[in-house]
Amino acid sequence: MTEKPDEAPSLCRVYEDRFRIGAAVNPWTLAKQQALLRRHFNSLTAENEMKFERIHPLEDRYDFTAADALMAFAEEGGMAVRGHTLVWHNQTPAWVFKGPDGEPVDRTTLLGRMRSHIHAVVGRYKGRIYAWDAVNEAVADEGDDLLRESPWRSIAGDDYIGKAFEYAHEADPDCRLFYNDYNESFPAKREKIYRLVEELKRDNVPIHGVGMQAHWNLFSPGLDDIREAIERYASLGLEIHITELDMSVFAFEDRRTDLQRPTEEMQRLQEERYASVFALFREYAAYIKSVTFWGAADDYTWLDGFPVKGRKNWPFLFDELHRPKGAFWDVLP
Ligand code: HAH
pTM for this predicted structure:
0.97
Confidence of residue 1 (pLDDT cuts 50, 70, 90): very low
Q: Whose CA is nearest to atom 8 of ligand 1?
A: 47
80-87 vs 131-136, strand pairing mode = parallel
Please, what is the average pLDDT of the chain?
97
Three-state DSSP class for 276? helix
Evaluate the CA torsion angle 178, 184, 185, 187 in order and state its sign.
negative
- Cis? peptide before 29, omega within 30° of 0: no
4, pLDDT greater than 70: no
- Give the mutation target among 88, 178, 244, 292 for probing the ligand 1 site: most ligand atoms within 8 A of CB: 244
Q: What is the mean pLDDT of residues 167-194?
A: 98
- Cα-based distances in Å from 133 to 61, 85, 100: 22, 5, 30
Three-state DSSP class for 140? coil
Q: Please identify every residue annotated as catalytic.
A: 137, 244
203, pLDDT greater than 70: yes
Q: What is the mean pLDDT of residues 192-218?
A: 98
- Cis? peptide before 187, omega within 30° of 0: no
The pLDDT tens digits for 97-132 are 999 999 999 999 999 999 999 999 999 999 999 999
25-29, 128-132, 254-258: the lowest-pLDDT one:
254-258
Evaluate the CA torsion angle 108, 110, 113, 115 in order and state its sign.
negative
Confidence of residue 6 (pLDDT cuts 50, 70, 90): low
User: How far is Cα 108 from Cα 155, in angstroms, rounded to an integer?
Assistant: 9
Confidence of residue 5 (pLDDT cuts 50, 70, 90): low
The pLDDT tens digits for 40-74 are 999 999 999 999 999 999 999 999 999 999 999 99
Three-state DSSP class for 243? strand
Q: Is the distance from CB of 188 to CB of 142 less than 8 angstroms?
A: no
Distance 7 CA to ligand 1 centre (A): 34
